[in-house]
Amino acid sequence: MEFFKHNKVYDFMKIANYGIVLSGILLIVSLVLFFKPGFTYGVDFAGGTIIQLKYTKEAPIAEIREKLNSVPEFEGAQVSEFGSKEEVLIKLSVTTSSVQNSIKEQIEELLAPTGEFQVRRDDVVGPKVGNELKEKGMMALVLALLAILAYVGYRYEWRFAIASVLALVHDVVIAAGAIILFDIDLNLEVVAALLTLIGYSINDTIIVFDRIRETIGARSGQSLKFIINEALSATLSRTVLTSVTVFFVVLTLYLFGGEIIVGFSLPMLVGSIVGSYSSIFIASKLVMFFGFDIKKYNEKIQMAEKKKLEKKRLREMYEKGRV
């Protein structure tokens, strides 16, 4: 399906100059948010207890806070509306060393006078487990980026590899900034969203890079800027169709999935836009910025083909007994 003229070449690299400025602003804002106010770690990472209650009528949040603060063990508990006025999410910094139901039973007994309710969820994570999950989550993100760097560097050329990884870091940082801006707890759902975003974004970038590589072979006499513009123009319909489809799917999750899945849907919603944008304007522009040389690249390809043919010739001679 083609939304744009097939033979028309758009000057993306000219627009990319403005894109770099916009990305710089978004990155600076995101990095500032990292330091102030910073991430709010969820129970998965910080440890503690989460209890979700559903009342038969509007939840009396002020009364719930008052009841919890009356017990020294629960003092400072976070109480917030969760998806609807009847549902409440309680975050406690304490855990139990025995069975999980002990805190649940204490909460049920303590809040019984506030009205009729049902405990829909009670999760407990110890601080040691939370630290392990935090370390492994961050390690997963770093290892994913390193693996992509190695793969793209092997398949294409080191400038393409660095450009693709920098574009991915750009996407992850901006998506993480949105998490802080919308006051979403950093937990395993968010890490899963960021890993999914890395896969989505690199897929877009690899398709663009594949087309650039094909165009280099067919347009060896053209400038790198023209080749990148032609490759981006050729893949534009595919990029737009994929981006719009993913965007509306994730938007549906964000609007109708409820609070329970917002940690996954919001980063993906932001990432679906930023990831496609970076594949077109950031990654390709960085390839030019790093000084990719078409002539040297073609010489490298020709040398590799020459070695391949030489190996094939020697193998045939060996099979025929001439070596």
For position 31, what pLDDT does the model report? 92
Cα 137 to Cα 131: distance, rounded to the nearest angstrom: 10
Both 20 and 167 in one domain: the answer is yes
Reading across the β-sheet that carries 84-92, which strands appear in turn? 78-82, 84-92, 48-55, 117-125
Domain count, the chain: 2
The residues of the chain scoring below 70 in pLDDT are 1-7, 94-101, 125-130, 217-221, 298, 301, 318-323
Both 63 and 192 in one domain: the answer is no
Both 79 and 159 in one domain: the answer is no
Both 159 and 219 in one domain: the answer is yes
Cα 182 to Cα 162: distance, rounded to the nearest angstrom: 30
Tens-digit pLDDT profile for residues 176-226: 999 999 888 888 888 888 888 888 888 888 888 888 877 776 666 678 888
**Other Cβ atoms closer than 10 A to 187:** 23
For position 97, what pLDDT does the model report? 44
Cα 80 to Cα 51: distance, rounded to the nearest angstrom: 11
CATH of the domain at 73: 3.30.70.3400
Beta bridge partners of 53: 88, 119
Cα 68 to Cα 281: distance, rounded to the nearest angstrom: 51
Both 116 and 137 in one domain: the answer is no
Q: Which tokens go with 308?
A: 């391949």
- Cα 321 to Cα 236, 309, 317, distances in angstroms: 53, 18, 6
Residue type, 228: I
78's enclosing H/E stretch is strand 78-82
For position 25, what pLDDT does the model report? 92
Both 69 and 186 in one domain: the answer is no
For position 126, what pLDDT does the model report? 66
Q: Which tokens go with 290?
A: 């790093």
Both 135 and 203 in one domain: the answer is yes
Both 17 and 56 in one domain: the answer is no
Residue 9: DSSP 8-state? -
For position 99, what pLDDT does the model report? 44
Cα 115 to Cα 229: distance, rounded to the nearest angstrom: 64
Give SS3 for 117: strand
For position 29, what pLDDT does the model report? 93
CATH of the domain at 201: 1.20.1640.10
Both 160 and 226 in one domain: the answer is yes
139's enclosing H/E stretch is helix 127-155
Task: Give residue 59's domain range.
Answer: 48-125
DSSP of 251-297: HHHHHHS-GGGHHHHHHHHHHHHHHHHIIIIIHHHHHHHTT--HHHH
Assess if residue 158 is contained within a domain: yes
